[in-house]
């Protein structure tokens, strides 16, 4: 078991972004198309964080053209180039799955005053 912990700790990223639920983030994702690769930005609200350590994932939700899109990103994946926090949200829940049922201004998260 200690060997697994050593391997997982060695493969963790050095600069891990500090994300919290309700934050609006820009996730820079590396996309491979054939032999070329490019970076695509996915911006949305963090509605969930799961697991921990090497397996940690976070779910980002956005509404594009009236259709809700959710993507799950592994935090320590080489596909995720970087994560920028655009604004931090003030929420009282660990998971914001209730935002799936909300439309328009009701689906907004209040901004945290720091």
* Token pair 């509404």 in the structure block, residue: 63
With a threshold of 0.85, does the pTM exceed it?
Answer: yes
When pLDDT is averaged across residues 61-89 and rounded to a whole number, the result is 94
In words, the CATH class of domain 2-105 is mainly beta
Residue predicted with more confidence, 14 or 77: 77
Contact between 18 and 36 under an 8 Å Cβ cutoff? The reply is no
pLDDT band at 1 (very low <50, low <70, confident <90, very high): low
Residues forming beta bridges with residue 70, ordered by sequence position? 61
Percent of the chain with pLDDT over 90: 74
Q: What pLDDT, in 10s, does the model give residues 24-37?
A: 999 999 999 999 99
């Amino acid at each position: 078991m200690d060997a697994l912990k050593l391997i997982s700790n060695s493969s963790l990223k050095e600069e891990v972004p500090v994300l919290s639920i309700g934050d609006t983030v820009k996730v820079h994702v590396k996309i491979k198309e054939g032999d070329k690769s490019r970076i695509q930005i996915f911006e949305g609200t963090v509605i969930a964080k799961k697991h921990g350590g090497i397996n940690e994932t976070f779910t980002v939700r956005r509404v594009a053209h009236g259709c809700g899109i959710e993507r799950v990103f592994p935090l320590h994946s080489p596909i995720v180039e970087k994560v920028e926090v655009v604004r931090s949200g003030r929420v009282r829940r660990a998971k914001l799955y209730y935002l799936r049922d909300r439309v328009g201004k009701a689906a907004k998260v209040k901004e945290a005053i720091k």
